[in-house]
C-alpha cells in the first residue's frame, strides 16, 4: 500500500512538473533542426491575393495583413534549409483568370526573401485556384535517384475559385494521383458554406488536410502546423523494389530495407529463400499523408506464406480511429518450431506479403511502404538459452519511474531517425496528426517501461471538437509492435487539452520468448534498440490554442543487463559498451528477431489500439513457463482470415 501511495505521489509530481515545464512554444520560435529532408522534398505556399483579401478581418486590420504575418510565422518555425517557396494569385490584375505567379522560388529556406515577397503582395483580382494548383506542382522539386521525399502544396484562401477552369477539385485529384509524395493542404481563412466545402474538397481530393481559420490567430496557428508537418515528414530509407500482385513474378529480396508503394485493397508479394532453421522477420510500415481520411477498421496486414496455400503467420494492424491517418506498422516472423516438424520448418521458397485494407470513402492514394527483412540464424551449437520471461513483473503499471527535471529532446520523424533516449525524463512538443519517434537500448534480461504525459494546454474558445486522443506504441528492434491490447497497458488516452497520461512497456528480453503464446511476449526475444512512437490525434488542431502540445516521457530500463541470451550469462558491468546485433560471442549467429508460429492472428490498432487474439485455446496465464516442446507449429495453416 505504501508503494502505491509513493507511486501516486510521483505521478502527481510528474503532472505538476509537466504543467510547469511544458510551456507554450512561442509562435516565432525556430524548430530544432531535424535530419535533412529527403531529396525532392519541399513546400510551396499558394496565397490568395484576390480583392477580398483587402477586406477587414474583424480585428481592424485586413486579411492580407493577417496572411503576411502568418506566412512570417510559419517560415520562422520551419527548419533551416527546408525547400520553401511562395506562389500568389489575384495579385497583379484587377480581373483575370490567368493571374498567378511564383513570387519566391522553391529553394533552401530563405526566410527574409519570403517575407519580402509576401510584403509586396497587394490584393487586386480574381481567384484562379485550379490554375494556381496546376502551376504550383511545377514549382516543386522532383525526387531523383529513387529517393522518396514529401512535396506539399499549401493553399491559403478566403474565397472559392471564381474562374472554374480548370475545376480545382478535379485538378487536386489529378495532381495527387501523379505521385505518392505529393499532397495538397488547404486553409480556409474566415470561410463558410460553399467556399469551405470547395476547400475541403480540394484537400480531400489532394490527399491532404483542411484547416479552418476563423480569425488571424487561428490562421497563424494552422499555417504553422501545416508547414511543420510537411517539413517533419517521415524520413524514408531503403532500396526501391516493386512487389507483385500475386506470387508469380514476385521480386526476390535478401535481408535489408526496401521502399515500395501500395494502393487501397491491394496486395504486394516478395519472394525469398529460407533454410530450415533460421528465423525470418518481416515488417511493413505505411506512411499516409498526416491526417488523411481513414476508417477505424482500415488495416495493414503482413504475412509469410509457404507452399501452395500455407501461411506461417500473419499480423493485422488497424488504425482504430477516424481522426486521420498516422504511420502504421505491421510485423511478422517465421520461427521454426522446436520439434522441427512444423509446416513452415522446411527450406525453400517463401513469400512475404503486405496487404492494405481500406473502406469506402477512405484515402484513395497510393501510400509509401517501407519494408524490413532480417534473418536470424540459430544459437550456436551447445548454447542453452535462458528461460523465457513472459511476465511484466517489476515492469508493470506500478513500476517506479524517474521524476527528475526533464531534458529537452526533439523526436525523430520515423524509425530511421528516431532519437536515442536513455533512462530519465524527457520533454518534447508534438503537433496534431504528428507521430514522434524515439529509441531506447534494451539488453538481454531487461525490460522497457515508460510513461507519456500530454500537457495541460489552453484551448480554443468554443472549439468544435470535444476530444481527441494521445497514443503511444513500442516496437521491438525488428519493428514488431508489442504494446497493444490484452496485455498490461492501454496504448491510447482521451485528450481534451487537459493533462493526460499513458503507461507502456515490454516484458524482459529473452531468446526463448519466441516460443511463448502471448503476442506481447513472443517478439521480445532480441536485445537492441526498442522504438517508441508518440502520436497526437488530428482533431487536437480544433482544440489546442498553441500550435504544438507539450509532451513528457519518463523512461526506465529495468533489470540487470545480461551478457547474452544463454542460461547463466553474467551481468554486464557498468560502462561496458553494448554489442551490436551482428555476430557475437553471446551465442547468437547474427541479428534478427522472431515471431512464434503458433496459431495466432494478431490484430492491433496501430500505435493506439487493441490486440485481438484468434486461435488461442485459453487465456494468457501470467506465470513463467518453460519453452514448449513442439513450438506450437504442428499445423501448417497458421494465422487467420480478415
Which pLDDT score, from 0 to 100, does residue 294 have? Answer: 92
Q: How confident is the model at residue 16 (pLDDT cuts 50, 70, 90)?
A: very low
What's the CATH code, domain 42-232?
3.40.50.410
Q: Residues near 7 by Cβ (< 8 Å), separated by ≥ 6?
A: 398, 400
pLDDT for res 615: 30
By the 10 Å C-beta count (0-12 exposed, 13-18 middle, 19+ buried), 391 is classed as middle
Q: Is the pLDDT of residue 585 over 90?
A: no
User: Could you read off the pLDDT of 35-50 as tens digits, one per residue?
Assistant: 677 677 899 999 999 9
Region 212-236 average pLDDT: 94
Long-range CB contacts (within 8 A, 24+) of 135-138 = 135/87, 135/100, 135/102, 136/44, 136/46, 136/87, 137/175, 137/178, 137/182
CA distance 89 to 66: 17
**Model pTM?**
0.85
Output the average pLDDT for the chain.
Answer: 84
Residue 112, judged by CB atoms within 10 A of its CB (0-12, 13-18, 19+), counts as exposed
Segment (H or E) for 72: helix 63-77
Distance from the Cα of residue 527 to its chain's centroid:
23
Query: 10: alpha, beta or left, given left = phi > 0 and alpha = psi -120 to 50?
Result: alpha
Name the grid cell of 64.
Answer: 492580407
Question: Could you check whether the bond before residue 128 is cis, i.e. omega within 30 degrees of 0?
Answer: no
pLDDT band at 290 (very low <50, low <70, confident <90, very high): confident
Check whether 53 has a pLDDT greater than 70.
Answer: yes
Average pLDDT over residues 442-454: 97
Query: Does the structure show a pLDDT above 60 at 236?
Result: yes
- Confidence label for 486 from pLDDT (cuts 50, 70 and 90): low
Residue 510, helix vs strand vs coil: coil
Indicate if the pLDDT at residue 204 is higher than 50: yes
Q: What pLDDT band is residue 83 in, cutting at 50, 70 and 90?
A: very high
- The answer to whether 250 and 269 are in contact (CB under 8 A) is yes
Q: What angle do CA 101, 104, 108 make, to 5 degrees?
A: 145
The pLDDT confidence band at residue 67, using thresholds 50, 70 and 90, is very high
Contact 439, 473 (CB under 8 A): no
Indicate if the pLDDT at residue 506 is higher than 70. yes
Are 506 and 395 a contacting pair, CB within 8 Å?
yes
pLDDT of residue 367: 93
pLDDT number for residue 488: 84
Contact 369, 270 (CB under 8 A): no
Q: What number is the average pLDDT over the span 245-258?
A: 96
Please state, in angstroms and rounded to a whole number, the distance separating the CA atoms of residues 149 and 287: 12
Q: What is the pLDDT of residue 35?
A: 64
Res. 405: pLDDT tops 80: yes
Report the pLDDT averaged over residues 380-405: 94
Q: What local confidence, expressed as pLDDT, does residue 338 receive?
A: 82
Instruction: Say what the pLDDT of residue 485 is.
Output: 52
Neighbouring residues of 628: CB distance < 8 A, sequence distance ≥ 6: 338, 515, 517
Q: Mean pLDDT throughout 186-193? A: 96
pLDDT score of 164: 78
Q: How many CB atoms lie within 10 A of CB 498?
A: 12
pLDDT of residue 29: 36
Q: Say whether pLDDT at 131 is over 50.
A: yes
Distance of alpha carbon 84 from alpha carbon 31, whole angstroms: 15
Residue 32: pLDDT over 80 = no
CA distance 413 to 433: 12
* Triad 353, 358, 359: Cα angle to 5°: 150
Quick one: pLDDT band at residue 175, thresholds 50, 70, 90?
A: very high
Residue ranges, comma separated, of all CATH 2.60.120.380 domains in the chain are: 238-378, 383-569
pLDDT exceeds 60 at position 445: yes
Task: Check residue 205 and give its pLDDT.
Answer: 92
Task: Please give the pLDDT value at position 39.
Answer: 75
75 phi-psi bin (left φ>0, alpha ψ -120 to 50, beta other): alpha
Taking alpha carbons only, the member of 174, 62, 168, 162 closest to residue 121 is 62
- Using the structure block, give the residue that is written with the C-alpha cell 516565432: 28
- For range 233-242, the mean pLDDT: 94
Q: Determine phi and psi for 196, rounding to 5 degrees.
A: -65, -40
For residues 566 and 9, the model is more confident at 566
The three-class DSSP label of residue 501 is strand
Most confident of 147-151, 252-256, 305-309: 252-256
- Looking up cell 484515402, which residue turns up? 363
What pLDDT is recorded for position 181?
A: 86
**Alpha helices (H) along 206-358:** 216-231
With 70 as the cut, is the pLDDT of residue 573 above it?
yes
Q: Would you give the DSSP letter of residue 573?
A: P
Start-end of CATH 3.40.50.410 domains in the chain: 42-232
- For residues 632 and 266, the model is more confident at 266
Q: For residue 42, give the nearest of 96, 105, 93, 98 by alpha carbon.
A: 105
155-159, 186-190, 287-291, 625-629: range with lowest mean pLDDT: 625-629
pLDDT at position 252 over 70: yes
Rounded to whole angstroms, the Cα distance separating 466 from 113 reads 40
Q: Which CATH class is domain 238-378?
A: mainly beta
3-state per-residue secondary structure call for 559-570: CCCECCCECCCC
- Helix, strand, coil percent values for the chain (each to nearest 5): 20, 30, 50
Cα(36)–Cα(82) distance, rounded to whole angstroms?
Answer: 8
Q: What is the pLDDT of residue 145?
A: 63
Amino acid 7: pLDDT: 40
pLDDT band at 342 (very low <50, low <70, confident <90, very high): confident
Confidence category of residue 632, pLDDT binned at 50, 70, 90? very low
Report the interhelical angle of 111-119 vs 63-77 (nearest 10°): 170
Contact status, residue 322 vs residue 294, Cβ threshold 8 Å: yes
Instruction: Say whether pLDDT at 427 is over 70.
Output: yes
- Residue 269 CA: distances (Å) to CA of 245, 252, 326: 6, 9, 23
Residue-wise pLDDT tens digits, 320-329 = 888 999 999 9
Residue 113 has pLDDT above 80, yes or no: yes
Domain 383-569 grouped into CATH 2.60.120.380: yes
Amino acid at each position: 500500500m505504501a508503494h502505491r501511495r509513493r507511486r501516486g505521489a510521483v505521478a502527481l509530481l510528474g503532472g505538476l512538473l509537466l504543467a510547469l515545464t511544458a510551456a507554450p512554444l512561442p509562435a516565432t520560435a525556430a524548430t530544432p533542426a531535424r535530419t535533412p529532408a529527403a531529396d525532392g522534398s519541399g513546400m510551396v505556399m499558394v496565397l490568395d491575393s484576390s480583392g477580398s483579401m483587402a477586406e477587414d478581418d474583424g480585428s481592424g486590420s485586413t486579411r492580407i495583413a493577417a496572411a503576411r504575418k502568418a506566412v512570417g510565422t510559419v517560415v520562422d518555425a520551419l527548419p533551416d534549409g527546408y525547400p520553401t517557396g511562395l506562389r500568389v494569385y489575384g495579385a497583379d490584375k484587377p480581373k483575370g483568370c490567368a493571374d498567378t505567379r511564383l513570387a519566391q522560388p522553391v529553394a533552401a529556406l530563405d526566410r527574409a526573401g519570403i517575407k519580402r515577397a509576401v510584403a509586396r503582395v497587394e490584393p487586386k483580382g480574381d481567384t484562379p485556384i485550379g490554375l494556381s494548383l496546376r502551376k504550383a506542382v511545377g514549382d516543386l522539386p522532383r525526387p531523383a535517384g529513387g529517393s522518396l521525399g514529401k512535396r506539399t502544396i499549401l493553399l491559403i484562401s478566403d474565397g472559392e475559385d471564381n474562374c472554374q477552369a480548370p475545376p480545382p477539385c478535379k485538378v487536386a485529384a489529378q495532381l495527387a494521383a501523379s505521385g505518392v509524395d505529393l499532397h495538397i493542404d488547404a486553409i480556409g481563412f474566415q470561410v463558410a458554406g460553399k467556399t469551405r466545402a470547395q476547400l475541403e474538397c480540394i484537400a480531400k481530393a489532394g490527399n491532404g488536410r483542411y484547416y479552418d481559420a476563423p480569425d488571424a490567430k487561428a490562421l497563424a496557428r494552422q499555417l504553422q502546423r501545416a508547414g511543420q508537418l510537411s517539413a517533419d515528414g517521415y524520413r524514408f530509407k531503403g532500396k526501391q523494389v516493386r512487389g507483385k500482385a500475386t506470387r508469380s513474378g514476385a521480386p526476390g529480396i535478401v535481408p535489408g530495407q526496401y521502399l515500395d508503394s501500395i494502393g487501397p485493397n491491394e496486395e504486394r508479394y516478395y519472394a525469398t529463400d529460407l533454410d530450415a532453421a533460421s528465423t525470418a522477420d518481416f515488417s511493413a510500415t505505411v506512411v499516409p499523408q498526416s491526417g488523411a481520411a481513414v476508417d477505424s477498421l482500415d488495416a495493414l496486414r503482413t504475412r509469410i506464406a509457404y507452399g501452395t496455400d500455407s501461411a506461417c503467420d500473419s499480423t493485422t494492424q488497424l488504425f482504430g480511429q477516424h481522426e486521420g491517418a498516422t504511420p502504421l506498422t505491421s510485423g511478422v516472423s517465421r520461427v521454426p518450431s522446436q520439434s522441427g516438424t512444423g509446416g513452415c520448418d522446411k527450406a525453400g521458397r517463401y513469400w512475404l506479403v503486405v496487404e492494405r485494407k481500406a473502406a469506402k470513402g477512405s484515402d484513395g492514394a497510393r501510400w509509401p511502404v517501407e519494408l524490413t527483412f532480417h534473418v536470424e540464424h540459430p544459437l550456436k551449437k551447445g548454447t542453452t538459452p535462458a528461460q523465457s520471461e513472459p511476465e511484466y513483473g517489476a515492469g508493470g503499471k506500478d513500476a517506479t519511474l524517474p521524476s527528475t527535471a526533464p531534458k529537452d529532446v526533439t523526436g525523430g520523424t520515423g524509425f530511421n531517425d528516431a532519437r536515442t533516449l536513455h533512462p530519465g525524463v524527457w520533454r518534447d512538443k508534438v503537433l496534431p496528426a504528428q507521430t514522434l519517434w524515439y529509441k531506447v537500448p534494451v539488453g538481454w534480461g531487461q525490460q522497457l517501461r515508460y510513461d507519456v504525459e500530454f500537457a495541460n494546454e489552453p484551448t480554443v474558445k468554443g472549439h468544435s471538437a470535444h476530444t481527441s486522443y494521445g497514443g503511444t506504441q513500442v516496437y521491438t528492434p525488428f519493428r514488431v509492435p508489442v504494446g497493444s491490447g490484452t496485455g498490461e497497458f492501454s496504448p491510447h488516452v482521451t485528450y481534451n487539452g487537459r493533462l493526460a497520461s499513458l503507461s507502456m512497456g515490454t516484458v524482459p528480453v529473452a531468446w526463448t520468448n519466441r516460443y511463448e503464446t502471448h503476442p506481447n511476449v513472443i517478439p521480445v526475444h532480441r536485445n537492441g534498440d526498442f522504438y517508441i512512437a508518440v502520436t497526437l490525434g488530428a482533431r487536437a488542431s480544433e482544440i489546442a490554442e498553441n500550435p504544438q502540445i507539450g509532451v513528457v516521457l519518463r523512461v526506465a530500463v529495468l533489470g540487470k543487463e545480461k551478457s547474452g541470451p544463454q542460461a547463466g550469462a553474467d551481468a554486464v558491468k557498468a560502462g561496458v559498451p553494448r554489442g551490436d546485433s551482428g555476430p557475437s560471442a553471446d551465442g547468437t549467429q547474427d541479428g534478427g528477431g522472431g515471431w512464434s508460429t503458433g496459431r495466432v492472428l494478431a490484430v492491433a490498432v496501430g500505435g493506439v489500439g487493441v490486440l485481438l487474439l484468434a486461435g488461442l485455446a485459453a487465456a494468457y496465464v501470467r506465470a513463467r513457463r518453460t519453452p514448449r516442446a513442439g513450438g506450437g507449429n504442428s499445423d501448417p495453416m497458421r494465422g487467420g482470415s480478415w
